[in-house]
Amino acid sequence: MRKGYMIVCDGSNGAGKTTVIKAIDAHLVSRGHATVVTREPGGTVIGEKIREVVLCPDTPELCATAELMLFAAARAQHVREKIIPAMASGKIVISDRFDAATVSFQHYARGLPLDLINLLNDIALNGFKPDINIILDLDPAIGIARVNSRGERLDRMEREKLEFLQKARNGYLAQADRDPKRFAVIDASQPLEDVISDAIKVVDHIVAG
C-alpha cells in the first residue's frame, strides 16, 4: 500500500488557509488520491471540545500555560485517533495548523520557554512529524483586516494585539529558516490564484517525491 502523507497549511490569521486547503484537497483528489482534511485544535470529538475552550473569546483569563497544555492534549488525541490511522491506510492528511503553530504562538508570541513547548510537542507527537509545513506569510494588519471583513466574531487568538500576531509571524519565519526541508514559505499577499499555484507546486513535489 502506498505511504500516506501529512501536509500542514499554517501561518498568519487571514492568510487564506481555508481556501488554499480546499484547493489542495481538490487537486489531490483529481489526481486519484484519498484525502482527509482536518484542523487544529480539533479533528476529533475530543479535539473539537478543546477547541471550543481554547478559542472562546469569553475566557480571556485562560493562562498561557493552560492554553499550551490544552493545545498539546488536542494534538495527542488528533495524532493517535485520526492522523496516524489515515496515513497508515495510504491517505493524504491535510491539516489547518499543527505543531509549528504552538512554537510560534506559545513561544514566540506568549514567551513560554521553548524547552517546555518542545517537551509537550514531543509527548503529543510521539515521534511523528508532518511531511511539509506550508506557511502562508502575511502582514498581520492585512490579515486581521481580512478577518474583520468577514463580519464574523473573532476568536480569542484573533483578538490579540498586532504586536502579538507579528511575533507569531516571526516565529513561523524563524522555524522555516532553521528547517527549510520541512517548511515552505509562500507570500500570501499575492493574488489568491498565485498563492494556490505556489502551494500546489509544493504539494506535488512532496507527494511525487
The 10s digit of each residue's pLDDT in 133-166 is 999 999 999 998 998 888 778 888 888 889 999 9
- Concatenating the DSSP letter of every residue in 111-169 gives ---HHHHHHHHHHHHTT---SEEEEEE--HHHHHHHHHHTTPPP-TTTTS-HHHHHHHH
Architecture of the 5-208 domain: 3-Layer(aba) Sandwich (3.40)
Pick from 152, 160, 156, 143: which is nearest to 52 by CA? Answer: 156
- Residue 20 CA to its chain's centroid (Å): 12
The 10s digit of each residue's pLDDT in 65-99 is 999 999 999 999 999 999 999 999 999 999 999 99
Q: Domain locations in the chain? A: 5-208
Task: Check residue 42 and report its DSSP letter.
Answer: -
Predicted local distance difference test score (pLDDT) of residue 60: 83
